[in-house]
Structure formats: C-alpha cells, structure tokens
Structure 1
C-alpha cells in the first residue's frame, strides 16, 4: 500500500568547517533525502585558517538543490529550510554586503599577539568573560576584528558591515540581514545577560552597532527569495529559519536535552556540551556558554584539533592519496583505524599533544603546537595514528573535568564523523571512564536545525521533545584495564602542557617571524 507523503518536511542544512550537508527530515527524525559537498580550508601562513564565503555559498546551494530534487522525485514537498553554521567566523563586508576578504574561521589564530596583550589585563579579561561567557581567545570574532583594525587598516576602513557565515548565507537566501542569538553569542561581543550586542565591548573594538545585524530568535524565519529559489529548485516564499550554531544544535539533534546529559563530538574539531537554563560561567574561565533558544543555553568547551589531525596524518604521514584509495576501493580512514587497532592502548608510550592550531577549552592558549612525545625506534605510523586518536581524547577529558563542576553527569551521547570508528569511540569511553551512547541519528546539527524548523511551524512544541525521538544504537562501556593505562598517560600529557609554556611561546614566536 502506497504511503501518503509526510505533512511537514524540513531541510536541515549543516554548514561546517570543511563541508556542508543538507538532510530532509520528517518530524520523527526520519531522514528522507540528503546531499553533501566539501570546500578547502586555506592556510596560507602559520596561524591563518581562512575560507571563501562565495565558495561555501555555492556548496550550500548545491546540497540544497540536490536534496530538493530527491524530494521532488519522491513527490514530497519541502516545508522549509533551517540553518546550522559553524561558530566564530568573521569577514569584513562592503556596502553591498559582499566580502572584502576571505572569511577567518574559528581555527584562525593570527590575532594571538593581541590576545596575549588582552590577557595581561586580568581585570578586563574577567569582565569581558563575565559579560559574554566567552573567554578571551583568538577564535572569537572580537579578536579577529581587533587584528583587522591593527594590521589590515585599509580593509578595516572599507568595512561597512561585520559579517559571520550565518548572516551571510541567510542574506543570500532571503535578502534579509539579521543574525540569531546563538551565533551572536559566540562572537565575544554579545552581552549574555542583556541578550544583545555589548555597547562597551563594541566601543573597545571600534565597531559601530549599525555595522552588525539585528539579533533575532533562533526560530526566526524569513522567506526564500525568487532568485535563490530558481537555482535551488524550490518555491519562492518558502520559510527559511535562521537556526543556530552547529555546536549547540548537536545536543538537540542527538536528544541530549535534559539535565545531566552531555554531548561529545569529534568532527574537524571537537567539543563537550551540556544544556542549562541560564548563562553559566566558570570561576577559572575554562568554559563558554552560548544561546540555543531564548530560554535555553549550552555550556561547554570546544577543542581546536579533532579530525583535522587525522586528515594531516592521512596526507602528510600516510600519503593516502584520493586516487590511490579509489583504485583499491578503500576508505583511507578505515585503513588508518585498522592500523591503529593493531596497537595496544597507550600506543606503547607514544603521546601526541595535538595542538596543531593552538587550543581553545580549557586552556584558551593560541601559543601551542603539536608534539609527538616518547618516540622510539619501535614506533611506526600505526602508533602515530592511535596516539592521535588518544591525544584528541585527552583534550576532551580536560574539558570533561571542567564541566563536572556544573553538575552530575548522567550520560554522554556522541556525534560527529568519529562515530564511524568503533575504535575511537572505545578510546574515548576508556579515557573519560564513562559510558558512551551512540544515538541512531549521529548527524546531530542537521536534525537540530530541522527541529527549530518544526518548532517554528508548530509541529513540535520545544526542543525537549527530541529526547523521545532519538534512540540508542549502541553503548560503549569503559574497559577497566584500558582506563588505568590512560589515567597514567593523561597525567603525563597534563604535565607536559604545564611544564612547556615558555617553549610553546618561543616556538610560535620563531614560526611567526619566518613569514
């Protein structure tokens, strides 16, 4: 018997650091069509991490169009589009809201000298943190704007509007220039108590409030323009919900929406997050807190270096070229995981400190670099791969220890590309010494965006309803003997970080002067 098409279908668009996916969802979280595309992360100099906003928008158009076509072939009509974007992006825009520069991503730390000076004023740093719930760090647009003002004055003077990836994409789809509370709260310029741009911080940055978009709810919608609709094979006037950032939407998408529930994500970067009903600050300034909805916040900590380290190993150490892997019909990451699986927990004493692009939580230190520590002649590429997986988990463990001050942890749900690797999931369970729940839907941010669409049209009442929609697919329990190994090595990992502060700063200074 032929089924009737669903009443409401929202296309959740998850725009990440190096790729975008569009997934069409029914309200019960059923995926009925998807598409993905990729774009490069540009690193022309040490500490620089840029992308082309134009290239990203073209990829966004491609995946929405492909997903819309899939729905059309199934005789299903899309109800609307809802957006999720990566955090902390910044580009100066001209009067026509066209980019004057490449977009600086969260991984861009060229402003580290400015951040270092800001941190010397401990009273100012704490005041800014208490206002914004954002520690002083190079990842935040505040620091990027200060860098532009000091080192690229010609572009700064031409900058009419301060843009993020979210408002740039939303503007191109709808013609309306606004930003959601969630994205604004990740800028370092948003007052968490007033839920608006902070006038004092804007004056400090030399930015007029008129240069920034008006702030709206994460369920706010405008309408798809005729020009965009024609290319996307969708109907003009369709609602486009502005949505939130990918980090906070992960919790919604995987059902980690109740007190004591954490989400653990490893994609290009990584993070641990928990929902709260009010802005939360840490006395040691180790964590951040961002808006999700007008009544809900997400406290947590993100690490800079996640899957990007595996990609570096793939390209620079293993030399697994795309053509080479396609010829033997093998996914390079599957092969890398297989090799790492032959190595015992602890990688025979090899530790990777994966600070290739500095670090965010809990250290908030851009003056860090990667280290393989403990190398001996018996170590090979397989050890290096496993040590990378373990080192990334050590970083997440540092964040986990900070978040425990906010309350008891009941369960941890996982999402992101690392969920494709049972080995990596087991390593994280062992390092955290916690049970991990793999949800049936691990594409959290895309479904989280779609949920905001369903809330906006009244299909769902609130985000808490997603807890009943996402079921457990598999549970990874910590293995006691592995946990003991990792506790010992994590202690060494922590001591290395704290004992090498001067050396980290010196090598970053040396590298910076080379360019």
Structure 2
C-alpha cells in the first residue's frame, strides 16, 4: 500500500504525448517539478491531407522519457507514486482479431476524409443532430470520419477491423495490459454521446461499427497497474498505479490553473487552441466550437486550430533554411534567431498577412479545404516579415476562436501554455491581437501537470481540480499596447474578409492538389 501521508513524498510522473514529441515530468502535489525528459518523433505526410504516425515509435519514445525520469528520481532518492497520461486527440487505427494494427495511426492533422465530410454536410439535419449529441463538429479530424474513409476506400481493411484504437488506449494497454479508453478521448471521437455519456448507437450504426469494436469507457481518473514487463523496461516498481488521464487539450486548463469562471487557456504548440471550463456539455448555435469531457462532472468547451508551431517549423526549414546542426555548433536556437529577426519588424509586418491554413482548419471554420497563403507581398518584404506575419497569422486564427467563446461568457483572464511561451514577442503579439491581458503562469507545461493532477486526485491527495486554483502563480502579465491593437484590428478585418471571399478558390486548389497524387 502506497503511503500518501506526506504531501511532498507523493510524486506523480505526468506524461504528455504530443503530436511530434513526448515529455515526462515528475511533480509534487504543490506543483513543483523535480525532473523531466523529452523525446521527438516524426509526423509522416506521404500525400497532401495525410498525416500518420507509427504508434510503436511513439511508445518507445514514451518508455525512454519515463525511464530517464525514473532513473533521475532514483538518483535523488525519491519514490514514484504513479504515472498519469495525457495524449493528443482524434487518433485512430484499425486492428485485426489479434489486436495487430492494420495501418499507421491516423492523426488529428489528417484530412483525407474531406470529400466524405462535404457529402455528409449536405444533410444539414443529420449533421446538426450529430453535433448536438456529440459536441463534435463534422470535420475530418474526428475518428468518426476517418472510419468512414477507411470503409469507403479500403473495404478489405474495414472488413478485417475487429478493434478500433486511439493512441491513448494503445499506450494504456501497452503499460497495463488493459484495453479501456478515458471519457475525454472518447468524447473527442465524434462517436460518443456527451449527454448519455456512452457510445452513440445511431452514429455507430451509421459508421458500420459496433460497440464491441470499441474499448470500454472509463473515468479520466481510472487507474490500473503497470505490468511486470513494462515496469522492468521503465525501471519502476511492479504494480505501480497508472492513471489513464485525459487528452492534452482539456488538461491544459488544469495544469496552468485556468479553472475558474472567466479564465481561459490559450495554447500554441504544434497546433493551437483556446478553451474554457464548463459544468455541462455546451454546443454553439453556429457550430464553431467543441466540448470534451475532463472529469465526471466537468467539461471543456473550446476550439483548436490545425496550424500553430507547425507553421514556424515550416518557416524555419523552408524559408529560413536554418540547419539545427549548424546553429547548435554556435549555441544558437533557430527559433530564438527567428524571433530576433521578427522583433525588428513593426506590428502588422508592413502589410503582410499570413492565412495559416497549411493543413486545412478546424475551429471555427471546420474546413479541411483551406490552404495557406501570404497576402500583400511586395518587394520590400523579407524573411523577417514572413516570420512576423507567421506569428501574427496564428494569433489571428486563434482570435477567431476567442470570438466564438465569448458567446459562452465573459473573459477575465487568459492563461497561456505551450512552446510559444518562450517568446516574449509572440506573447505580446497575442495580447495586442486579442485586446486582452495575457497571463504567463509559472508553470507553462500545462498538460503534463494536468495529467499529474488526475493522479493526485486518483490517489486521494487532491479532492478535485479546484485544488490547483492557488498552486499556479502568474509569472508575468502582458497588456495590449494601444497603437499595436489598432493596427491589428484593421488587419484582422482584412484577414476575415479573405477567408470569406476565397472559400470557392480554396476548394478548387485543394482539388487540383489532390489530383496530382491519384
């Protein structure tokens, strides 16, 4: 029996499995992180609209970082109380009767089912009914649409599909030998009735699948035991508790202390999102937002954008041509250099706008046929302008989501997390575009700590997520600068207008691109 009598002796390893990397962080109940480790893995994009990953590669990366953290804790003489997991949303992989995967894991960024989405949207009543029951807009990111795509395009794979996996239940099964999925991941599938808290039979029938093909749904604080073989590989005690946790999107709010009315979280990692907590499932009259489960009595409403840091990586590799190895030789982070270059450019990038729809878009447009575009290019624009326009364009995209969430309630505080928080320039740009105060918390690794909090709750060390309200203190507050805010308001109008006017042409260019690979 574990001893939880001493707050500081209770240590949970929060594992945050992201799109292109995983981080494991050991936390005490007071929010202090003791050590961490991270590892990266590829996102495979063999064709336009495709985005896949090998889940075995991801799992090996998870084992590597957890083992590193475990070894550090052993060196420090600390005992581990358990592991809690956070993963990205919307993943899907079919498996045969022997539970062998029949394909790579299809990720949230994959939009190959756009044709099916467009056909489905022709039946407005059907789509509206699905949204109102699941709180998931009809979009190619959701496993529901991925399953329909497999049924149409690979009927032989669909016929062999006996089990349906997400990344979360794949990882949990690897660690514990038990095949279950948490309510958070289930509610982000497009197959789960948010009001009945169960798989939706009508949607399952529409997709041609049964509940026996899906894992049983459990609470986000559900725990099982680490198997002997997994414990040996991780260098952790046998039978150590593993809490299944939730998805990264809903855990961020917990991890950065954005849990009170009027508090929102804004995240930019590979993608980006804005979220707020709600006690009941919420749907937007215009279908702009989603709502996913966090704990049995708490939900998170929000909207995620496809293109966040992935745009900055593209700028780094394709526009700036910054070689990591070359810059490492002189101890320069390529993103620091990019931020420095962007800081020399005034707000608004001298009239250069980026529509950052490189991989289509989720909230609030839910349109997989969008594509990226620089607008307003002239001979005076440089790579530095393009970098700044990239930062601004991502914030413009998030501002569209923020506008939708304001219909749910007043905004009092926006807390931030993700890799972009390392850039004071980017944080100031967000404050100026949002026209709101932006709070940088002391802990900006929201999902990892959020997962650990679920571990503390499962172990009885915390009553519920409200216990974190006073743990996360502000590190710095960024206030909108009046002159920049005025510039961005004018450019945001142009940004919004471009989206409205170019929708038919976005569809045409997407069709043209797809023909090239048929």
TM range (shorter): over 0.9
Deviations 1:193-240 (A, max 9, x none): 000100000000011110000000000000000010000000110000
C-alpha distance in 1 between matches for 2:238 and 2:510: 50
Name which of structure 1's ranges 4-13 and 326-335 shifts more when overlaid on structure 2: 4-13
Q: Distance in 2 between matches of 1:310 and 1:243?
A: 29
Deviation at 1:96, TM superposition (A): 2.9
Question: In structure 2, which of residues 276, 297, 300 is the aligned counterpart of residue 298 of structure 1?
Answer: 300
Match of 1:336 among 335, 338, 354: 338
> Is 2:7–2:461's contact at 8 Å kept on the other side of the alignment?
no
Q: How many angstroms apart in 2 are the aligned matches of 1:382 and 1:316?
A: 13
Distance 1:457 1:423 in 2: 40
Task: Look up the match of 2:3.
Answer: none
- The corresponding residue for 1:110 is 112
Distance 1:461 1:294 in 2: 13
Q: C-alpha separation between the residues in 2 aligned to 1:413 and 1:396?
A: 14
* Offset at residue 5 of structure 1 (A): 9.7
Equivalent runs, 1:106-505 vs 2, <5 Å:
106-505=108-507
- Contact residue 257 and residue 275 of structure 1 kept, 8 A: yes
Distance 2:428 2:17 in 1: 28
Instruction: State the distance in 2 between where 1:152 and 1:35 align.
Output: 39
Give the Cα separation in 2 of the matches to 1:322 and 1:36.
Answer: 17
2:75 matched residue in structure 1? 73
Counterpart secondary structure, 1:300 = strand
Residues 92 and 105, structure 2, Cα contact 8 Å, conserved in 1: yes
Moved more, 4-13 or 314-323: 4-13
Deviations 1:236-255 (A, max 9, x none): 10000000000000000000
Distance 2:194 2:150 in 1: 25
Shift of 1:33: 1.1
Contact 1:5 1:76 in 2 (8 A): no
Q: Distance in 1 between matches of 2:316 and 2:42?
A: 16
Give the Cα–Cα distance (whole angstroms) in 1 for the partners of residues 154 and 338 of structure 2. 41
Q: Report deviation, 1:98.
A: 2.5
Greater shift in the superposed pair: 355-364 or 92-101: 92-101
- CA RMSD between the two structures: 0.8
Residues 352 and 373 of structure 1 are in contact (CA less than 8 Å); yes or no, is this contact kept in structure 2? yes
Report the TM-score, using the length of structure 2 for normalisation. 0.98
For 2:489 and 2:8, the matched residues in 1 are separated by 50
Tell me by how many angstroms 1:266 deviates: 0.3
Confirm or deny: 8 A CA contact 2:7 2:29 kept in the other structure.
no
Q: CA deviation at 1:95?
A: 2.3
CA contact (8 A) 1:5 1:75 kept: no
Q: Distance in 2 between matches of 1:501 and 1:395?
A: 16
Q: Is the Cα–Cα contact under 8 Å of residues 7 and 28 in structure 2 kept in the other structure?
A: no
Work out the CA distance in 1 between the residues paired with 2:491 and 2:113. Answer: 32
CA distance in 2 between counterparts of 1:111 and 1:425 reads 34
In structure 1, how many angstroms separate the alpha carbons of the residues matched to 2:370 and 2:460? 47
Cα deviation code 1:50-87 (max 9, x no counterpart): 11001000000001000000000001010000000000
- Contact 1:179 1:215 (8 Å CA) reproduced: yes
In the alignment, structure 1 segments of 5+ residues that lack a partner are none
Q: Secondary structure at the match of 2:37?
A: strand
C-alpha distance in structure 2 between counterparts of 1:147 and 1:177, whole Å = 24
Find the counterpart in structure 1 of residue 40 from structure 2.
38
Distance 1:353 1:111 in 2: 22
Task: Classify the secondary structure of the residue corresponding to 1:409.
Answer: coil
Aligned to 1:59: 61
**Paired residues, number:** 512
- Cα distance in 2 for residues equivalent to 1:494 and 1:96: 49
Q: For residue 326 of structure 1, report the CA deviation from its aligned partner.
A: 1.1
CA distance in 1, matches of 2:374, 2:12: 45
Question: What is the CA distance between 1:323 and its match in structure 2?
Answer: 1.3
> What is the CA deviation profile of residues 18-63 of structure 1, one whole-angstrom value per residue up to 9, with x for unaligned ones?
0000000000000001100000000000000111001000000001
CA distance in 1, matches of 2:254, 2:331: 35
SS of the aligned residue for 2:407 comes to helix
Distance 1:323 1:235 in 2: 38
Give the whole-Å Cα distance in 2 for the aligned partners of 1:141 and 1:464: 31
Output the CA distance in 2 between the equivalents of 1:410 and 1:99.
Answer: 46
Render the CA deviation track for 1:354-377: whole Å, top value 9, x for unaligned: 000000000000010000000000
Offset at residue 321 of structure 1 (A): 1.2
